[in-house]
């Protein structure tokens, strides 16, 4: 696979953004709309709006007031740029408009993307948001229903219909069995948490709340909060769409969490919460991570973790893709000192994982936990080899 530069990653992000719009626009019914907005202070400002017209076409509008300049020459230049892109100016409404039938929606989404990039100057889609108030609530798929049935069949009758758990360990054990069946993957309990396989865009886990019989689905959005006001705005923005998912702060870490009552444990409740949670991860979590972690290199290094944020980013990329040593050199700007520090940390992680695997075997832990530690050991050792190769590539010959 060819190595991707940061420019390639940006292009991929815009393609994904356009694909999201192209997927939803044909499903709009007459009068329904989708907006592309940006954060301006305490409010969201609509940049581009798509509306399903009575004619059956999708109409895209742009408020001219957003771009009008007191400099007449600048405004004329902007008007010409918009016309060249494909916008039509409507003097009476003082806005720009374009429309397309369902068969030509890709052209309309590309027009919107070009406008956001070339006219509004947004370098990456992370700086804008899609407001889709008419998005249908995701329905449980047949596959999920089938998996849930299998999970219920595998549990005792008293658990399947509702079960009062007697301990935190029992709560986690039953939840692990249900989640493993729903995901179709091996799931283990490690240090009091249910560790999940890397199936989603961000890592997450489940633990039992110490405040009562409840489960907490959690993911880390940032290791160091730098802007409390920004977090406050994000809480307001997301509370309407994701009312059951809270953004919380602990020791400067920002978490997204979904609490599931387990006073009477019912697998159906776990399945429903899991479905909502994974939609949140797919639709919003990655964007929240990007917004909360803006800033220069090292700005969000965790004060409580020995893993540099740059190395953690490389880990995340490696879990999603075939990360090569040459790409590591590119992403680290060829800095061998940084790569050697990453290698030192990674070797320590590999040793810790190997020690955990040995300890798990010695105490007779279940195969899932042993496999989790063994897989981690293999991952870190493989990554050490990648870093060694990257250091060799980045070191000038003869040095």
Question: Higher-confidence residue: 337 or 147?
Answer: 337
The candidate with the shortest Cα–Cα distance to 254, out of 284, 293, 221, 229, is 221
pTM, 2 dp:
0.42
Q: Work out the average pLDDT over 212-220.
A: 86
Q: Work out the average pLDDT over 218-244.
A: 77
What is the token pair recorded at 181?
Answer: 């069946």
Residue 140 has a pLDDT of 36
Read off the pLDDT of residues 54-101 as tens digits, 9 standing for 90 and up. Answer: 888 999 998 777 777 667 777 778 888 888 889 988 877 778 899 998
Residue 139 has a pLDDT of 35
Residue 100's CB is within 10 A of a number of other CB atoms, namely: 19
How many angstroms separate the CA atoms of 123 and 108, rounded?
19
How many angstroms separate the CA atoms of 183 and 186, rounded?
8
Q: Which residues contact 218 (CB under 8 A, 6 or more apart)?
A: 204, 205, 206, 207, 255, 256, 257, 258
How many angstroms separate the CA atoms of 281 and 242, rounded?
11
Residue 233 reports pLDDT greater than 50: yes
Exposed/middle/buried for residue 175 (C-beta within 10 Å: 0-12, 13-18, 19+): buried
3-state secondary structure of 16: helix
The highest-level CATH class for domain 163-293 is alpha beta
Torsions phi, psi for 169 (to 5 deg) = -60, -40
How many angstroms separate the CA atoms of 272 and 129, rounded?
26
Question: Higher-confidence residue: 158 or 26?
Answer: 26
Residue 306 has a pLDDT of 52
Read off the pLDDT of residues 264-310 as tens digits, 9 standing for 90 and up. Answer: 777 777 888 888 888 888 778 877 877 776 544 343 344 434 567 67
| % pLDDT > 90, the chain | 10
Angle between helices 142-154 and 168-183 (to 10 degrees): 140
In the chain, domain spans: 6-132, 163-293, 309-394
Torsions phi, psi for 146 (to 5 deg) = -65, -45
């Amino acid at each position: 696979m060819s190595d991707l530069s940061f420019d390639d990653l940006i292009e991929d992000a815009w393609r994904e953004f356009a694909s999201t719009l192209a997927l939803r626009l044909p499903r709009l019914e007459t009068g329904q709309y989708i907006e592309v907005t940006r954060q301006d202070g305490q409010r969201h400002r609509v940049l581009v709006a798509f509306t399903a017209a009575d004619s059956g076409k999708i109409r895209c509008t742009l408020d001219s007031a957003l771009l009008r300049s007191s400099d007449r020459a600048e405004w004329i230049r902007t008007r010409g740029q918009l016309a060249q892109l494909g916008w039509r100016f409507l003097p009476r409404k003082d806005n720009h408009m374009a429309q397309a039938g369902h068969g030509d929606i890709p052209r309309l989404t590309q027009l919107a993307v070009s406008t956001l990039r070339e006219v509004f100057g947004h370098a990456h889609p992370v700086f804008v948001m899609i407001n889709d108030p008419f998005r249908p609530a995701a329905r449980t798929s047949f596959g999920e229903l089938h998996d849930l049935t299998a999970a219920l069949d595998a549990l005792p009758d008293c658990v399947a219909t509702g079960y009062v758990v007697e301990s935190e360990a029992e709560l986690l054990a039953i939840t692990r069995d249900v989640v493993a069946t729903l995901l179709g993957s091996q799931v283990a309990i490690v240090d009091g948490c249910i560790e999940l396989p890397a199936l989603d865009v961000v890592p997450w886990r489940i633990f039992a709340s110490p405040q009562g019989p409840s489960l907490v689905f959690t993911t880390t959005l940032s290791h160091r909060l730098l802007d409390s006001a920004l977090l406050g705005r994000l809480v307001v923005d997301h509370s309407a769409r994701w009312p059951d998912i809270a953004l919380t702060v602990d020791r400067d870490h920002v978490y997204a969490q979904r609490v599931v009552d387990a006073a009477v444990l019912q697998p159906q409740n776990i399945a429903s919460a899991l479905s909502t949670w994974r939609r949140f991860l797919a639709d919003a979590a990655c964007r929240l991570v990007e917004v909360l972690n803006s800033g220069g290199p090292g700005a969000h290094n965790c004060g409580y973790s020995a893993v540099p944020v740059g190395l953690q980013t490389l880990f995340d990329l490696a879990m999603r893709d075939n990360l090569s040593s040459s790409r590591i050199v590119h992403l680290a700007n060829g800095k061998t000192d940084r790569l050697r520090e990453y290698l030192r940390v990674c070797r320590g992680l590999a040793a810790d994982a190997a020690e955990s695997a040995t300890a798990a075997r010695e105490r007779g832990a279940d195969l899932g936990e042993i496999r989790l530690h063994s897989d981690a050991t293999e991952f870190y050792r493989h990554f050490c080899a990648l870093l060694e190769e990257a250091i060799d590539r980045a070191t000038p010959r003869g040095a």
